[in-house]
Amino acid sequence: MAGRLIVVSNRIPEGPNPAGGLVVALKDAITEKNGTWIGAYGEPGEATDSFDELEGTPYRRLAFRLTAEEHSNYYLGFANSVLWPLCHRRVDLVELQPEYERDYLSVNRRLAAMILRILKPDDMLWIHDYHFLPLAQELRRLGVSNRIGFFLHIPFPSHADLSVLPQPETFAGWLADYNLVGLQTGADVARCLEMYRADPRAEFLPDGSVKFGMNILSVRSFPIGIDVDSFIESASRSAPSPFGREEPAKYIIGVDRLDYSKGIPNRFRAFGRFLENGGAEKRPCLVQIAPPTRERVKAYQDITRELEEIAGSLNGQFATLDWTPIRYIHRQIEREQLATLYRRASAALVTSLADGMNLVAKEFVAAQDPEDPGVLILSKFAGAAEQLTEALLVNPYDTDDIASAIDRALEMPLDERRRRHAFCMQAVRRTDVSLWSTQFLRVLERCMPTLNLPSSMGRGRYNLSAPPADLVAE
């Protein structure tokens, strides 16, 4: 396909070599396809109505700025105080404010108008994550008929939770204007289809796609992964210990943004239970790296406080002059250091209460020495559990279950560790991030572009898999 690839994500990649995440996933595809990455500046200021072109990357980067009010209402508000808790099964934390939704919609509308000005007819758009659910709808309103794909990095909400939105039916309508909706897991696809099954406007076609009004939408799972080879390379370098002379003899690692969805308090409590049950004799350490995130949202302030209290109380209860059971580091660390930390750990604890995928789980697996690998303890509620079935799968709500998995991980014989690791490593390779983006784009390219009908033929757009012969795309 000759057209350019235009990627939209809330965060614009910083600098020429940003570490990890979506940027690594898409850097090659976007460079090959003469692509453009659109995203917001991190800091709010004067709103921009046209993009600033940023220098210094092999692909084009176009940035826009949010006002302070938009940053509060669209980003911290609707995106992170409504959609994020809604999708992570924490409807108790949803904060409904009319100005949140108003600015969420208006930012999407403004962005659509800005994209229209740079768009060429054969460009393909790939929109990322919950910040931009209505973007296709806004683009279609402006007459855009290009192929538009969407990938939701976080869990798809349950039908029951969606009813917390003031107008739950808008959600199905937002997604229906995409040609392809990619989700992390089979379970996410099932929830999305359940939403359409319950919606009288939707109809299922024999090939499994959803006809919604004039639109036809494909919903498929594309489990995201990591850049496996580069992670293996970083982890296998013989780097000095990131702990200096303070390296614990045996440690378990946890690495997460300090988000309530990650179940970090549950993890600390379970580690406490393990220590109480005799684990303290083994003197292992739990090294928890948890950089702050979305700090202006109250739920994040609460979890930060809660975690400090639990860590303080467990250390008070168990620490000795030469052993601190929990080392809690509340900041971002270098990617190279992270790889080394994973490699030297005896186990990793991922205890998300809900998680789209959880890349930390895959990074940990890739970082291990296959001859003497550490053990992954993984929440069954992380998307990664659909693929990493030979990790020690745990129920993060069950303190005893996690505590006994910690014990089992630290006692696991070498041949069992090797066998489980080899299985997980295959799954990590199967979902390598370059395969992920290639597969998504290949499916999107095969979707028929949406056709704009002349108004004399009635309002509407068709993205039929076989376009009516008498209709021509505008």
Question: Among 153, 161, 227, 256, which one carries the catalytic annotation?
Answer: 153
Q: Are 227 and 19 in contact (CB under 8 A)?
A: no
Chosen from ligand ADP, ligand G6P, none, partner binding at 363 (C-beta under 5 to 8 Å by type): ligand ADP
Q: Which does 11 bind (CB under 5 to 8 A by kind): ligand G6P, ligand ADP, none?
A: ligand G6P
Which residue sits closest to ligand ADP, CB atoms considered?
A: 359
Q: What residue spans of 277-371 are helical by DSSP H?
A: 298-318, 335-344, 359-367
Site for ligand G6P contains 211 (CB under 6 A) = no
The continuous run of DSSP H or E covering 124 comes out as strand 124-128
Q: Is 154 in the site for ligand G6P (CB under 6 A)?
A: yes
* Catalytic one of 129, 188, 199, 355: 355
Residue-level length of the chain: 474
304 touches ligand G6P (CB under 6 A): no
Which of 450, 410, 437 has its CA nearest to residue 35? 437
Annotation marks residue 128 as catalytic: no
- The smaller minimum CB distance to ligand ADP, of residues 165 and 224, is found at 224
Residue 395: DSSP 8-state: -
Residues of the shown chain interacting with ligand ADP in the complex, contacts defined by CB under 6 A: 20-21, 255-257, 289, 291, 332-333, 338, 357-360, 363
294 binds, among ligand ADP, ligand G6P, none (CB under 5 to 8 A by kind): ligand G6P
Is position 293 an interface residue for ligand G6P (rule: CB under 6 A)? Answer: yes
CA–CA gap between residue 99 and residue 103 (Å, rounded): 6
Task: Compute CA distances 302 → 196, 265, 270, 296, 383, whole Å.
Answer: 35, 11, 20, 11, 25
- 269 is a contact residue toward ligand G6P (CB under 6 A): no
Residue 384 or 409 having the CB closest to ligand G6P: 384
Contact of 215 with 177, CB cutoff 8 Å: yes
Q: Closer to ligand G6P by CB, 383 or 396: give it.
A: 383
**71 sits near ligand G6P (criterion: CB under 6 A):** no
Cα end-to-end span (Å), the chain = 18
* Cα–Cα distance measured from residue 429 to residue 268, given in angstroms and rounded to the nearest whole number: 30
3-state class (DSSP) for residue 265: helix
Instruction: Sort 237 into a burial class: Cβ within 10 Å, 0-12 / 13-18 / 19+.
Output: exposed
Q: Which is closer to ligand G6P, CB of 335 or CB of 408?
A: 335
The only residue of 11, 89, 283, 327 in contact with ligand G6P, by rule CB under 6 A: 11
421 labelled catalytic: no
Q: Is 129 in the site for ligand G6P (CB under 6 A)?
A: yes
By CB under 6 A, tell whether 67 contacts ligand G6P.
no
> What six digits make up the tokens of 420?
């489980």
Residues with catalytic function: 153, 355
